[in-house]
A and B are shown apart, each in its own frame.
Chain A
């Protein structure tokens, strides 16, 4: 019987405990990781207090429902979690480089590492990155003032943060599951893993899953209903198109994950038999349902990256995007087909050849629209005037490296070969090959591209480029050797190996991991230097790259309401057309009063309550879990009784603010692309003289 107050929680649950009782390298690493979280948290609290930032944090960020603020917070969350995820990757690489017959970590610790690494990277790095980017950019691209449901947007962020908090807490108190990010039962069931590890995973997944589903609804409805007059679907920027398809995919793909995780929870908590060995359970159902989520998920994380590549290939070639219609059709095709291929994750589970054939061919079919997209971006560069900036370096890295990922995807789509390389390092190399040059490079390119819009100053270009090259080189060394190791037969998730011919490749991979760490450090340095030099790098007029779409037509950072008057759209690349016709930056014919949502603490309340609820569920501290659920329900109901949830901004205020800004624009000299990365670029673009 559990303790009524503390549930399963005991002193030995704290991660430092093992080191105190039984010091070793392994337990030192475990305790150290936990300590870092605690010290990091305390350091953050100290900084906020010392620089008296609490007030500003509360009023400008934590209570804001502005899509721009929420977008930035999502990306900050992602970058923090990415730091942890990369460090975990480096530690795993280091362990495997010493794992010929051993390794410096315990096998159990290694298993927790690969499980947290995968969970964090997909759900707490890739997803928040794309959600943050879409949150920030899409309303600006479609001429809207905010998402349709700003408070729900904030609540989504709160739920995602709560789930991330649970994962961080698991470093300090308790442990994480060891079944990988897919957490297959029966291994993760209560019989084989009675500890709290799988419970941390389950509740982090369920809580963030609900948040993400709500985000999908928000994005889809916003893009459907909030576009500026004249912006037909076929006039939307490609990034918005990919955001729309991603949003719809989220709405359809997240429920299976919620279902499979809750079914596992029912098995563990209430002795149900969905996936148990006995009494009619069937573990194959878990695999199928999980991958019904899992496959669309990987396309969810890659489509926005494709959207970014569409935007930057056009902007940095000073050209219109080639093949708009093809790109739209390809995006939709990828979105739909991605729901029909999930079984390729379990070709080896024993089903008939016919089933494997159907899913194998469907999997290969996705390569067609994907290839079309790549060719379309090449055609955009073709006959353009290409400028190699940091985002373009990421695009180049994508072009060359993603091809290997696509090739190996085609290989894996064939059951005949998959039977050999499934669950091997070949698979690990493949999915990192598509996730890093695909998703990550796209997201990083997007961050570099839109950073000046969000913060009003550019990032230090030389450091940005260095980081990009380090990512490319680091990726090559860290992952290309794994293809070979996989063909040689090395399984994934191996805490040790016995074949000495594997060792040189492991060392190569470790070199790559350190290079990636170097890329991360360079990015931190880039952030530091950029903030230090922000006055010189400032681009207040908001169009540093001679952009083509609507978001570049407003100030950097944009005013809270984005557009003083909702623009009237007449074509694709509306802003480029305005600049070409010689009449950008015009005052509006008419200004109207607008309604904006008020700030609220709702998201924060839900975040704290969900974290407590999740912690209570994990440790079986039932009163805490119930308290958390009640707090969420109560806050929703109480909020629904509030009537003061919006405020009016008057037309005259808008007119005056807009007028001030237009004056500023008029007094800012325009620069050509020759001076794009010089300090003279203040964000106003001149017609390019190179013709």
Chain B
């Protein structure tokens, strides 16, 4: 059985099928999904994309020799090829050793420098400019609450930001560990109950994109997505106005109802049944809501299952409580 030819045929076969299917994938719609850092809406995501390409480029130096070398070696030194040199006791070559240790070390040095530089530069905690828009983010099961303390409004399921203005997010959750991400703007950051994390981002062009939770938090996890609108100034002001005129006001009871397990659709059905789609907007927020959500875990008392939003036993926020 000529296994060499058989192997080569199979390799060509699978590569071509793979190629065809990949092309099929590309042509069946939006190639670079509009919601990822491959089509960035801001400079941070764009820099992250550039970094990705650079890492791939440099690492290829170490990888291409394998992808090219292995087929060549297998072909030339196959057992049937009597013309090839045979050195069964060859076990060491100083130049080869220096190359195989040295080149990767060099690559790591270069990559290490970039890693250092960019990790500092794109640290999520690093402010991106003066007068950032403050948004407080609360992860719930399974939706996101956005509190705009300066504007005195809040929204669930939608985050609107002005273009060309730094945005400073302070995050927590009132349930379990979650991970907040708007790919097209910046990378993700974990949010945890009783703790505050920060994420700074900025949009440099208008657009609508997707935000999500990437840390599994229960049955409705896949529904925990939200829309992000990067709006030009006029539209941003209009959005704030609309929110300030919203019929719903966020108070403790409504917050507790929001905190029950369920998707945005479920919360909407309970709190704004006349609204069949879209996010929930609140025209006012209780003072220090975010602080109280964080600090309730630090007041020295236990939070029982009945009191813990996101637990199966939690039922608060009802008139009939």
A and B pair up: yes
Which residue numbers of A lie inside 8 Å of B, CB to CB? Answer: 106-108, 111, 178-180, 184, 186-187, 190-192, 194, 277-279, 283-284, 317-326, 346, 348-350, 352-353, 356-357, 360-361, 364-365, 367-368, 371-372, 374-376, 378-379, 381-388, 393, 396, 399-400, 403, 406-407, 410-411, 413-420, 422-424, 462, 465, 469, 472-473, 476-477, 480-481, 484, 487-489, 491-501, 503-505, 508, 673, 690-691
Are A111 and B100 neighbours in the complex by a CB distance under 8 Å?
no
A320-B88, A419-B187 known; A192+B77 contact, CB < 8 A? no
Contact partners of B87 in chain A: CB under 8 A: 319, 383-384
| Shortest Cβ distance from residue A2 to the other chain B in the assembled complex, whole angstroms | 17
**Given contacts A381-B73, A384-B87, A385-B78, could you give 11 more A-B pairs where the C-beta distance is less than 8 Å?**
A179-B216, A191-B313, A321-B91, A322-B90, A325-B92, A353-B120, A367-B62, A367-B104, A416-B51, A419-B124, A491-B213
Contact partners of B313 in chain A: CB under 8 A: 191, 194
| Shortest Cβ distance from residue A81 to the other chain B in the assembled complex, whole angstroms | 23
| Shortest Cβ distance from residue B163 to the other chain A in the assembled complex, whole angstroms | 21
Are A501 and B108 neighbours in the complex by a CB distance under 8 Å?
no
**Chain B residues touching A, range:** 35 or more
A187-B216, A416-B118 known; A317+B77 contact, CB < 8 A? yes
Contact partners of A319 in chain B: CB under 8 A: 87-90
Are B35 and A192 neighbours in the complex by a CB distance under 8 Å?
no
A322–B225 CA distance with the chains assembled, in angstroms: 53
Does B38 sit at the interface, judged by CB under 8 A? Answer: yes
Contact partners of B222 in chain A: CB under 8 A: 107, 491, 494-497
Which residue numbers of B lie inside 8 Å of A, CB to CB? Answer: 1, 3-4, 7, 10, 14, 18, 21, 24-25, 28-30, 32-33, 35-38, 45, 47-48, 51-52, 55-56, 59-60, 62-63, 65-67, 69-70, 73-74, 77-79, 82, 84-93, 96-97, 100-101, 104-105, 108, 111-112, 114-116, 118-120, 122-126, 175-177, 179, 181, 183, 186-190, 192-195, 197-198, 210, 212-223, 225, 297, 300-305, 308, 310-313
Q: Could you jot down 28 A-B contacts, CB within 8 Å?
A: A179-B216, A187-B176, A187-B217, A192-B175, A277-B194, A283-B192, A320-B88, A350-B125, A357-B115, A361-B108, A364-B112, A372-B100, A375-B96, A375-B100, A384-B86, A384-B88, A387-B79, A388-B3, A407-B56, A407-B59, A413-B115, A417-B55, A420-B36, A420-B183, A420-B187, A488-B33, A495-B219, A499-B33
Partner of B216, one of A406, A493, A691: A493
Task: Identify the 9 closest CB pairs spanning chains A and B, nearest first.
Answer: A419-B187, A423-B214, A488-B33, A489-B36, A501-B29, A278-B303, A491-B214, A350-B197, A375-B100
Are B214 and A424 neighbours in the complex by a CB distance under 8 Å?
yes
Most chain A beta carbons < 10 A, residue from B89, B91, B116: B91
Partner of B48, one of A317, A352, A417, A476: A417
Are B91 and A400 neighbours in the complex by a CB distance under 8 Å?
no
A422–B221 CA distance with the chains assembled, in angstroms: 16
Partner of B4, one of A324, A384, A388: A388
Are A381 and B176 neighbours in the complex by a CB distance under 8 Å?
no
A419–B111 CA distance with the chains assembled, in angstroms: 17
Are B74 and A396 neighbours in the complex by a CB distance under 8 Å?
yes
A107-B222, A278-B301, A414-B55 known; A348+B90 contact, CB < 8 A? no
A473–B16 CA distance with the chains assembled, in angstroms: 12
Contact partners of B18 in chain A: CB under 8 A: 476-477, 480
Are A277 and B297 neighbours in the complex by a CB distance under 8 Å?
yes
A496–B189 CA distance with the chains assembled, in angstroms: 22
Partner of A416, one of B79, B119, B195, B223: B119
Are B79 and A385 neighbours in the complex by a CB distance under 8 Å?
yes
Partner of A191, one of B187, B190, B197, B305: B305
| Shortest Cβ distance from residue A188 to the other chain B in the assembled complex, whole angstroms | 9
A134–B21 CA distance with the chains assembled, in angstroms: 40
A191–B79 CA distance with the chains assembled, in angstroms: 64
Contact partners of B30 in chain A: CB under 8 A: 501
| Shortest Cβ distance from residue B38 to the other chain A in the assembled complex, whole angstroms | 6
Are B92 and A420 neighbours in the complex by a CB distance under 8 Å?
no
Contact partners of B310 in chain A: CB under 8 A: 192
A192-B175, A489-B35, A496-B222 known; A416+B77 contact, CB < 8 A? no
Partner of A498, one of B32, B122, B225: B225
| Shortest Cβ distance from residue A354 to the other chain B in the assembled complex, whole angstroms | 8
A503–B28 CA distance with the chains assembled, in angstroms: 9
A192-B310, A356-B119, A378-B66 known; A411+B112 contact, CB < 8 A? no
Most chain B beta carbons < 10 A, residue from A374, A382, A424, A494: A382
A14–B194 CA distance with the chains assembled, in angstroms: 37
**Nearest chain-B residue to A361 (Cβ)?**
B112
**Nearest chain-B residue to A414 (Cβ)?**
B115
Contact partners of B3 in chain A: CB under 8 A: 388, 465
Are B118 and A414 neighbours in the complex by a CB distance under 8 Å?
yes
**Nearest chain-A residue to B180 (Cβ)?**
A348
Contact partners of B193 in chain A: CB under 8 A: 186, 277
**Nearest chain-B residue to A484 (Cβ)?**
B25
A384–B119 CA distance with the chains assembled, in angstroms: 45
A561–B74 CA distance with the chains assembled, in angstroms: 39
Contact partners of A487 in chain B: CB under 8 A: 36-38
Partner of B214, one of A422, A503, A504: A422
A346–B177 CA distance with the chains assembled, in angstroms: 12
Partner of B86, one of A320, A385, A489: A385
A371-B100, A382-B77, A416-B118 known; A423+B84 contact, CB < 8 A? no
Contact partners of B104 in chain A: CB under 8 A: 367-368, 371-372
Contact partners of A383 in chain B: CB under 8 A: 77, 84-87, 90
| Shortest Cβ distance from residue B114 to the other chain A in the assembled complex, whole angstroms | 8
Are A350 and B190 neighbours in the complex by a CB distance under 8 Å?
yes
A417–B188 CA distance with the chains assembled, in angstroms: 10
Contact partners of B37 in chain A: CB under 8 A: 420, 487, 489
Are B86 and A322 neighbours in the complex by a CB distance under 8 Å?
no
Are B220 and A283 neighbours in the complex by a CB distance under 8 Å?
no
A386–B288 CA distance with the chains assembled, in angstroms: 72
Are B59 and A410 neighbours in the complex by a CB distance under 8 Å?
yes
Most chain B beta carbons < 10 A, residue from A107, A277, A279, A418: A277
**Nearest chain-A residue to B304 (Cβ)?**
A191
Are A488 and B73 neighbours in the complex by a CB distance under 8 Å?
no
Contact partners of B215 in chain A: CB under 8 A: 423
Contact partners of A318 in chain B: CB under 8 A: 79, 88
Are A357 and B220 neighbours in the complex by a CB distance under 8 Å?
no
Partner of B66, one of A399, A410, A501: A399
A492–B66 CA distance with the chains assembled, in angstroms: 30
A353-B123, A414-B118, A491-B214 known; A372+B101 contact, CB < 8 A? yes
Are B38 and A488 neighbours in the complex by a CB distance under 8 Å?
yes
Contact partners of A386 in chain B: CB under 8 A: 73-74, 77-79
Are B55 and A411 neighbours in the complex by a CB distance under 8 Å?
yes
A141–B38 CA distance with the chains assembled, in angstroms: 51
**Nearest chain-B residue to A330 (Cβ)?**
B101
A192-B310, A317-B77, A414-B55 known; A419+B82 contact, CB < 8 A? no
Partner of A419, one of B48, B56, B84, B92: B48
A319–B79 CA distance with the chains assembled, in angstroms: 12
**Nearest chain-B residue to A485 (Cβ)?**
B33
Contact partners of A691 in chain B: CB under 8 A: 86
Contact partners of B1 in chain A: CB under 8 A: 462
| Shortest Cβ distance from residue B116 to the other chain A in the assembled complex, whole angstroms | 5
Are A422 and B52 neighbours in the complex by a CB distance under 8 Å?
no
A504–B33 CA distance with the chains assembled, in angstroms: 13
A504–B125 CA distance with the chains assembled, in angstroms: 37
Are A361 and B47 neighbours in the complex by a CB distance under 8 Å?
no
| Shortest Cβ distance from residue B115 to the other chain A in the assembled complex, whole angstroms | 5
Contact partners of A493 in chain B: CB under 8 A: 216, 221
